[in-house]
């Protein structure tokens, strides 16, 4: 097996793929979004529930896709739940920057936690989208909630 392949399917990725954290759609929620990757047909339905001061009370999801996208959703939910949107914004920004760096940037484990296990995908341009799709869904949900609250 090539070393790049083992860098991609790390133990943590496989663990999150097999036993996704916080999976399944739950109530209550403020908004629900549905994102699709039209190239491969991967889908995620994501529900976000915030408190009035934008603490992430719950984030639930149903993800259909490859191991990378499912693991990414699981790791993201683990990172976000119980924290404030503001607190998590640098985490999201750093994760996206590293994922888009084609492997040039190293990730800060203190910031992105298990997300570090997904960085092998940064070297495969075709897989970056898989990993970022749950985060794009989270951002879209955030935009919707803020618009609802006007």
Q: What is the distance between the alpha carbons of residues 12 and 3, in angstroms, rounded to a whole number?
A: 16
**10 or 84: whose CB is closer to another protein?**
10
Close Cβ partners of 14 (under 8 Å, ≥ 6 residues apart) = 67, 71
Q: How far is the CB of 14 from another protein (least distance, A)?
A: 4
Spatial distance between the Cα atoms of 100 and 3, rounded to a whole number of angstroms: 20
Q: What minimum distance in Å lies between the beta carbon of 72 and another protein?
A: 12
Smallest gap, in angstroms, from Cβ of residue 107 to another protein? 20
Per CB under 8 A, residues contacting another protein are 1-2, 4-5, 8-9, 11, 14, 39-43, 64-68, 124, 126-127, 130
Distance CA 98, CA 115 (A): 10
The distance of closest approach from Cβ of residue 132 to another protein in the complex, given in angstroms and rounded to an integer, is 14
Q: Where are the beta strands (DSSP E) in 1-148?
A: 31-37, 42-50, 56-64
């Amino acid at each position: 097996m090539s070393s790049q392949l083992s860098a991609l399917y790390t133990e943590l990725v496989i663990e999150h793929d097999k036993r996704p954290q916080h999976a399944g759609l739950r109530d209550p929620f403020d908004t629900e979004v549905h994102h699709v990757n039209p190239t491969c047909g991967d889908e995620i339905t994501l529900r976000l529930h915030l408190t009035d001061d934008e603490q992430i009370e719950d984030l639930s999801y149903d993800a259909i896709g490859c191991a990378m996208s499912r693991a990414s959703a699981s790791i993201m939910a683990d990172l976000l739940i119980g924290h404030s949107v503001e607190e998590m914004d640098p985490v999201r920004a750093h994760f996206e920057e590293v994922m888009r760096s084609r492997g040039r940037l190293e990730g800060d484990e203190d910031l992105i936690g298990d997300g570090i296990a997904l960085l092998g995908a940064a070297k495969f341009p075709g897989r970056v989208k898989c990993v970022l799709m749950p985060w794009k869904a989270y951002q879209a949900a955030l935009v919707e909630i803020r618009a609802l609250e006007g």
